[in-house]
A and B are shown apart, each in its own frame.
Chain A
């Protein structure tokens, strides 16, 4: 395939609304997760993202149960209510994940997060339960493909509904606004929570805020890369940026740029090479990380 052929193929694909939607959602999700990734990585909360994504997977499986209930109750008023949740799974998954995030980060005492063992328990617990429920209650004929796309996000980014896209846009605007408005507070609380509290900033409240926003981003990111690969979107841009840049502002800016570009390149790449979207993005992020590490090592020696 020559370069011109590839360009033709791209132009053709970008005429399809589903590709345009995937691109918009992908870039926005990448931007949000990279912004949050910086404080999460610095607070040593990287694994929270992973844990929450498994919780989101478990919550998603519940919609299969609701679907069965809705069928059983066909004709009653409840069916209509349930149908809304079955159709727009995010309405169910988002609150559950946010609740768990709040319990994990916000409700426990300041700075005292759940031990890694209990977090691991929560992760595999929801993963196992989620898979069991999906197996038992799913109405779809091809369960393993369903599960696979939830875990690895193989196609779901390309099947976004208008509702999904709008949800994505609104949540992204909220996340970015929170990050910009509370940027200085987030820096102070992340750098030194004790000092921030002592000088009148409510560190606990900001931890809760970060937890809730993280949960929201993770649920959105599930569409893009699937629940197993979400940590990559959160962790990689921050880590890459920290190889080279040395002030908080430059790390945040670089992480955002790296994440948006990797995501765009990953989506385009997956179309051209017919590879799964999520894993392509993650591989691009990994390559960027390696390149940045090398540059960082050369810079610190030279």
Chain B
């Protein structure tokens, strides 16, 4: 088992004010980790820390050798991306390749090939010349997922990937993510959707002021935190 990300005793917060503390967990290759917790529990803070956008107040985040800081494919929350931006699907997917090391003013043939492959993989090849802002919610998420895969095929970090999607498209999205995970892509997903987390994930991290649970799914369902949370969400299941 190869540990890709190892977090020890993390204290996370903004401008020295801790939001969450005592975070210790590992992500191994091929894991499907679901991060759940109430609003304000520090889920987005943890994402920013994992991406290197907001360094932890204390504690360490160790990445496996060969997994550089730019080897996390990130799918931002739906609202984070400008909705009226004039850009074609192809341009956006290709922009996932931009972070590659060194100074390359133009995309290489290999990068164009990668972009084409990822678009094929997510079934959006026929949309490649369409404008992003004219796509449906589910199509947009596929585009952003293809972009993330252009950056890396090692780890995907998904921030609320199904927020605002209708039930049918939500199911499609989860299936796609599951398929990617089955082909060896490590998935870290932040979600409010505890039912889906329990169905698809292999590991669960339940955040609060202090982490309530980290471990495999089976253990979570038996834990106090897991029972309380799954009971709660039972009332609003679709």
Q: Which residues on A are within 8 Å of B, measured CB to CB?
A: 42, 180-185, 187-188, 191-192, 194-201, 242, 245-251
How long is the Cα–Cα vector from A242 to B133 in the complex, in angstroms? Answer: 12
How long is the Cα–Cα vector from A187 to B151 in the complex, in angstroms? Answer: 15
CB of B39 to closest CB in A, whole Å: 19
Residues of chain A lying within 8 A (CB to CB) of residue B73:
199
Residues of chain A lying within 8 A (CB to CB) of residue B92:
191
B88 is contacted by which of A199, A200, A242, A246 (Cβ under 8 Å)?
A246
9 A-B pairs with the lowest CB-CB distances in the bound complex, closest first = A200-B70, A199-B99, A246-B131, A200-B99, A247-B88, A198-B51, A188-B98, A188-B95, A199-B151
CB of A297 to closest CB in B, whole Å: 15
B74 is contacted by which of A187, A188, A191, A198 (Cβ under 8 Å)?
A198
Q: Give me 24 A-to-B residue pairs in the complex whose CB atoms sit less than 8 angstroms apart, sorted by A's number.
A: A180-B105, A184-B94, A184-B105, A188-B99, A191-B81, A191-B95, A194-B51, A194-B76, A195-B74, A195-B76, A195-B151, A196-B95, A198-B157, A199-B74, A199-B99, A200-B69, A242-B86, A245-B86, A246-B86, A246-B134, A247-B91, A247-B131, A248-B85, A248-B87
Q: Are A199 and B76 in contact (CB under 8 A)?
A: no
Q: Are A184 and B86 in contact (CB under 8 A)?
A: no
Among residues of B, the one whose C-beta sits closest to the C-beta of A198 is B51
Given contacts A187-B95, A200-B99, A249-B91, contact A195 B147 (CB under 8 A): yes
Q: Are B105 and A199 in contact (CB under 8 A)?
A: no
How many contacting A-B pairs (Cβ < 8 A)? 94
Given contacts A184-B106, A187-B91, A249-B91, contact A198 B80 (CB under 8 A): no
Residues of chain A lying within 8 A (CB to CB) of residue B91:
187, 247-249
CB of A182 to closest CB in B, whole Å: 7
Chain B contact residue count (CB 8 A cutoff)? 38
Among residues of A, the one whose C-beta sits closest to the C-beta of B70 is A200
CB of A252 to closest CB in B, whole Å: 9
Q: Are A184 and B76 in contact (CB under 8 A)?
A: no
Residues of chain A lying within 8 A (CB to CB) of residue B81:
191-192
11 additional A-B pairs beyond A184-B95, A191-B87, A247-B129, beta carbons within 8 Å, are A180-B105, A187-B98, A188-B99, A194-B80, A196-B95, A198-B53, A198-B70, A199-B70, A199-B151, A247-B87, A251-B86
Q: Does B183 contact A (CB under 8 A)?
A: no
How long is the Cα–Cα vector from A282 to B134 in the complex, in angstroms? Answer: 31
Q: Which residues on B are within 8 Å of A, measured CB to CB?
A: 51-53, 68-70, 72-74, 76, 80-82, 85-88, 91-92, 94-96, 98-101, 105-107, 129, 131, 133-134, 147-148, 151-152, 157
How long is the Cα–Cα vector from A77 to B68 in the complex, in angstroms? Answer: 57
Residues of chain A lying within 8 A (CB to CB) of residue B68:
200
Among residues of B, the one whose C-beta sits closest to the C-beta of A180 is B105
How long is the Cα–Cα vector from A247 to B87 in the complex, in angstroms? Answer: 4
Among residues of A, the one whose C-beta sits closest to the C-beta of B100 is A200
Q: Are B86 and A199 in contact (CB under 8 A)?
A: no
How long is the Cα–Cα vector from A192 to B80 in the complex, in angstroms? Answer: 8
Among residues of B, the one whose C-beta sits closest to the C-beta of A185 is B98
B105 is contacted by which of A181, A196, A201, A250 (Cβ under 8 Å)?
A181
Among residues of A, the one whose C-beta sits closest to the C-beta of B53 is A197
Among residues of B, the one whose C-beta sits closest to the C-beta of A200 is B70
CB of B101 to closest CB in A, whole Å: 7
A191 is contacted by which of B82, B129, B148, B157 (Cβ under 8 Å)?
B82
Among residues of B, the one whose C-beta sits closest to the C-beta of A250 is B86
Residues of chain A lying within 8 A (CB to CB) of residue B98:
184-185, 187-188, 196, 199, 201
Residues of chain A lying within 8 A (CB to CB) of residue B94:
184
Most buried by B among A184, A194, A195, A197: A195
Most buried by A among B69, B74, B81: B74
Residues of chain B lying within 8 A (CB to CB) of residue A194:
51, 53, 74, 76, 80
Residues of chain A lying within 8 A (CB to CB) of residue B86:
42, 242, 245-248, 250-251
How long is the Cα–Cα vector from A242 to B69 in the complex, in angstroms? Answer: 35
Residues of chain B lying within 8 A (CB to CB) of residue A198:
51-53, 70, 72, 74, 157
A42 is contacted by which of B52, B72, B85 (Cβ under 8 Å)?
B85
Residues of chain A lying within 8 A (CB to CB) of residue B88:
246-249
CB of A34 to closest CB in B, whole Å: 14
How long is the Cα–Cα vector from A288 to B105 in the complex, in angstroms? Answer: 32
Residues of chain A lying within 8 A (CB to CB) of residue B129:
247
How long is the Cα–Cα vector from A245 to B151 in the complex, in angstroms? Answer: 27
Residues of chain B lying within 8 A (CB to CB) of residue A242:
86
CB of A93 to closest CB in B, whole Å: 31
Q: Are B85 and A201 in contact (CB under 8 A)?
A: no
Among residues of B, the one whose C-beta sits closest to the C-beta of A244 is B86
Most buried by A among B74, B86, B101, B134: B86
Residues of chain B lying within 8 A (CB to CB) of residue A181:
105
How long is the Cα–Cα vector from A291 to B131 in the complex, in angstroms? Answer: 22
Q: Are B107 and A184 in contact (CB under 8 A)?
A: yes
How long is the Cα–Cα vector from A183 to B148 in the complex, in angstroms? Answer: 20
